[in-house]
Amino acid sequence: MAHGRLAVVSHPSLGLPPPDRSAGLPDAAARIRSNQERLAARALRVAMDADPTIEKRFDEAQLRHLLRDAELLAERVALCLETGDPDAAREYAEWTAPVYRRGGISMDDVVALCEGLRAAFPSTLAPGELPPAGAALDAAITVYRWHRRIAGDARRKNAFLRFLYKGG
């Protein structure tokens, strides 16, 4: 979906039905939900292995928040699998990007969590269930990367340029 267009969303007051939770892969969604904590822990570990500075930049409380965020991302992917529509992950990314930015968490770190979930899903999902989960993660990653370009993102800056502009 292109930015600037609104998706057709269910809205009870408009008479539209809610998303059908049996239209996709409800069994796969149930497996994700039952293994949510393990998947989130694996996702965070994969993200920290890919970028060792995560452990240095975040204290223990912030790492626990990232772990909880990975659980919420897994829940959103489970909803996408249930309904057969990756838009739920895209919407979640749109809602959470400003929260992450206010918290000083870079979009690159959130993308690393998404990629960590992608690496963790084969332990829970069957090979045929991985493409829809990947599509949901791709939808979220696209949004996080789009928000990454906005000024003020907490991405790493060039130390030399910071020195020139701030004098120290």
- Per-residue pLDDT of 89-120, as tens digits, reads 999 999 999 888 888 888 989 999 999 999 99
Residue 4 has pLDDT above 50, yes or no: yes
Confidence class for position 151, pLDDT limits 50, 70, 90: low
CA 51 to chain centre: 17
- Per-residue pLDDT of 26-62, as tens digits, reads 899 999 999 999 999 999 999 999 998 888 889 899 9
Mean pLDDT of all residues in 63-89: 92
**pTM summary value:** 0.78
Count CB atoms within 10 A of the CB of residue 61: 7
pLDDT on residue 1: 45
| Portion of the chain with pLDDT greater than 70, in percent | 76
Which of 91, 43, 87 lies closest to 69, judged by CA? 43
